[in-house]
Amino acid sequence: MNQISEPGTTFGGSWTEKKLEILERYIDAYTTALKNKPFKLIYIDAFAGTGYVESQDKDAEDFIHGSAARAVGITDRAFDKLIFIEKDQSRCLELENLRQKHSYRDIQIENVDSNDYLKNLHKDWRKYRGVLFLDPFATQVQWSTIETIASFNALDTWILFPTYAVARMLPRSKKPDDIRPGWAKRLTIVFGDESWRNLYQISPQLNLFGTVEHERASGVNGLIDIYKSKLESLFQDRFLSKSRTLKNSKNSALFEFLFCVGNPSGITPAKRIAKHILERI
């Protein structure tokens, strides 16, 4: 099978540290809020990497703690179970080092595709509450996976939407039908339907040959709005409209950091905490 290449980005800049700080602040507040509750607390990192991130800041340490290492480091009310999912085998070996370092903790490492694992995850969600971090490199998260997660009613979910990668698949001056077939298929998997085609409108000006052309709206707000609208339809009141745009050093949008509440009974406090953190970091 031919592999479909797609635009990606690099990790390790200040935006990475900001993303990780937002996540860490939230899981710290989350576990404290449920400190005296009877639920078992679970943390799932769907694209766990190695547990550490190489910094691009020459003045910083060579590595910063990644999401997996930060979740393990929450100890005031530690997670009862941590699941790290990573498709790359070499990264899983690095995660194994993290697990051995904390051998007293219940850490599970899964060397599988995150979409497959999450769509086949079966637990008695009446006993569990937790946080799920979806941190793809590009467009790996499928909409069908998001639908499965929403049905759990148990996992507060942080989603890193790949703004840059999606925008690169959507040329400004072409018809939707002119997009590479492989990319069009991938976009439909990410959005769950062909709603992404709504980004293209008929250009107000005819081309040199007097024929009609289509043009994608400038900027990235349109595609983010479409994805947010779909999340709101799926999660309803559990979706937080406030999000955070993560940009690179050139001020280009790379990702949109989105939040959805797991259990409906926790909507008010979860959204209040997440909104507070997003506005202050």
Tokens for 12, please give them: 């390790």
Q: Is 267 a member of any domain?
A: yes
Q: What is the pTM of this model?
A: 0.88
**Distance (Å, rounded) from C-alpha 100 to C-alpha 213?**
58
Q: Is 272 a member of any domain?
A: yes
Q: Is 183 a member of any domain?
A: no
Q: What is the pLDDT of residues 56-102, one digit of tens each?
A: 554 444 457 899 999 999 998 999 999 999 999 999 999 999 999 99
Q: Is 211 a member of any domain?
A: no
Q: What is the pLDDT of residue 65?
A: 85
Q: Is 204 a member of any domain?
A: no
- The b/e string for 141-176 (b: 16+ C-beta within 10 A; e otherwise) is bbbebbeebbebbbbbbbbbbbbbbbbebbbeeeeb
Q: Is 76 a member of any domain?
A: yes
Q: Is 200 a member of any domain?
A: no
- Which of 12-16, 78-82, 215-219 has the least mean pLDDT? 215-219
Task: Report the CATH number that the domain containing residue 230 is assigned in CATH.
Answer: 3.40.50.150
Do residues 150 and 199 make contact, with C-beta atoms less than 8 angstroms apart? no
Number of domains in the chain: 1
Average pLDDT over residues 237-241: 98
Q: Is 274 a member of any domain?
A: yes
Tokens for 275, please give them: 């909104």
Quote the domain boundaries for residue 67.
14-170+218-280
